[in-house]
């Protein structure tokens, strides 16, 4: 009964819209956070960013839990079409949870300039940027619909989306690295 409810929820267009909005809001939040770091490299980020990242982590965990519940053991079946996406989502959500837990534990150490904990927090922060890649999975239906309407532009369109996503991810990463260098001076 519970797996059927989970499948029905996952097939709901409302649920897809909510998850799509969460993924886009996460992407926007990462960009705003990168800009805030560059604007004030020596200041701590506002607590609202931590709260938002925790909310995104909870939303992703709920979505992943529903998909695992709906699929059962076949979620991890490598013979299925979505296996690669399932593993990517599972790894990203698991690392995101680890990021939030370790950020909570290591934050006091990072304030005392313990280089190991600062480096670990920086690496885990990269996961927040990589989560933006979920946009490509969430909007699978949009991808198929655009292919039907604009079939001759499909390769160009998705190449542009991929390039914009890559530029955005590396720009956020570069801003984070530059801000860390400014903090160190």
The tens digit of pLDDT for each residue in 10-62 reads: 888 899 889 888 988 988 888 888 888 788 877 777 889 889 989 999 999 99
Longest CA span, the chain: 59
Q: What is the pLDDT of residue 138?
A: 59
Question: What's the rounded Cα separation, in Å, for the pair 21 and 181?
Answer: 33
Task: State the burial class of residue 49 (Cβ atoms within 10 Å of its Cβ: 0-12, 13-18, 19+).
Answer: middle
Which H/E stretch holds residue 25? helix 13-39
pTM attached to this predicted model: 0.65
102 neighbors 124 (Cβ within 8 angstroms): yes
Positions of the chain with pLDDT under 50: none
Neighbours of 170 (CB within 10 A): 11
Neighbours of 22 (CB within 10 A): 19
């Amino acid at each position: 009964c519970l797996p059927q409810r989970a499948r029905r929820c996952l097939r709901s267009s409302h649920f897809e819209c909510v998850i799509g909005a969460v993924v886009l809001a996460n992407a926007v939040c990462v960009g705003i956070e990168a800009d805030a770091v560059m604007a004030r490299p020596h200041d701590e980020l506002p607590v609202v960013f931590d709260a938002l990242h925790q909310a995104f982590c909870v939303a992703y965990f709920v979505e992943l839990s529903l998909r695992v519940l709906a699929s059962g053991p076949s979620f991890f079946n490598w013979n299925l079409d979505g296996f690669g996406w399932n593993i990517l989502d599972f790894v990203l959500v698991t690392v995101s949870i680890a990021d939030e837990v370790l950020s909570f534990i290591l934050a006091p150490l990072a304030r005392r300039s313990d280089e190991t904990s600062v480096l670990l927090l920086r690496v885990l922060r990269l996961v927040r940027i990589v989560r933006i890649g979920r946009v490509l999975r969430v909007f699978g239906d949009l991808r198929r619909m655009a292919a039907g309407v604009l079939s001759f532009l499909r390769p160009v369109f998705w190449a542009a989306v991929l390039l914009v996503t890559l530029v955005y991810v590396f720009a956020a990463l570069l801003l984070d690295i530059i801000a860390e260098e400014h903090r160190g001076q």
